[in-house]
Amino acid sequence: MRIVVYSLSSPTRAGRTPGSRRSGRRAVAAAVCLCAPLAAVAQPNVEADHFVSQRRVMVDEQIRSRGIAEPRLLNALETVPRHEFVPEALREEAYRDEPLQIGSGQTVSQPYLVALMADLLELDGDEKLLEIGTGSGYTTAVLALLAGRVYSIEIIDELADRARTVLDDLGYGNVEVRVGDGYRGWPEEAPFDCILISAAPSEVPPPLIEQLKENGVLVAPVGRTLQDLVVIRKTTDGLVRRQVDVVRFVPMAGRAQEDPAAEHPNF
């Protein structure tokens, strides 16, 4: 079995055949100041074109080549400006097949792992989704293009504030970010169609299972040093669990660190 090293933001963050799944829109505007030199108005946005090209290569070489082919997901990955979610000094590295440091001792996952976990949720476009671990906000942005509304919880204040600012500036209006312990979920907005946990609890927190709708899907790394990346579906007959891969995530912080339920799995 393949081991994938995966590092994501705590408390918060490895293919399969896709199921059914929103396309984006593009707007182009141009303004010319008559008093400006010709060179100033004729110069193309080289930086933007540069990153667009990098995103296309990323999707072709890192995502599609590994078996992920869901069109809406690939389009989202080609659309979201990953470089906006990393420190400026690392922007040229944003589309590499590796995690990157984002501050506070945390990282944003490599693009493939973001893609795989999103793919496993089988989003159609109108879901109410809970994300545990906002981190840089990059995964949040990808999910925002795939689901109806995203509620994201981050335990580190600085990361939550920064991610919220970037998401707002880029116009992701269907996202709400708050600071808190993801173990407890977001009960006032429950139930959720899908839940994505982006760091590893020893066992799935019971409150998150409770906040998942019947027939809802939860994707999470579960375990200690090495974890199982699992997909859990909540049915009328109980929880159905499927292991996808073996991964290594940072531990989930907060209440999950002292959870006695880890000794008594909930499925």
For 127-178, what is each residue's pLDDT tens digit? 999 999 999 999 999 999 999 999 999 999 999 999 999 999 999 999 999 9
Q: Cα(197)–Cα(251) distance, rounded to whole angstroms?
A: 11
Candidate list 109, 136, 152, 198, residue with the active-site label = 109
For residue 33, pLDDT beyond 90: no
For residue 3, pLDDT beyond 50: no
Q: Which long-range contacts (CB under 8 A, 24 or more apart) does 35-43 make?
A: none
Residues of the chain with pLDDT > 70, as a percent, come to 79
Enumerate domains of the chain plus CATH numbers: 46-257 (3.40.50.150)
Mean pLDDT of the chain, nearest integer = 84
For residue 13, pLDDT beyond 50: no
pLDDT in tens, 80-126: 999 999 999 999 999 999 999 998 888 899 999 999 999 999 999 99
**Mean pLDDT computed over 212-217:** 98
DSSP alpha helices (H): ranges in 10-58?
Answer: 38-42, 46-58
| Residue 60 DSSP class | I
* Torsions phi, psi for 103 (to 5 deg): 100, 165
Q: Is 132 helix (H, G, I), strand (E, B) or coil?
A: strand
Active site (annotated) includes residue 65: no
| Residue 96 DSSP class | S
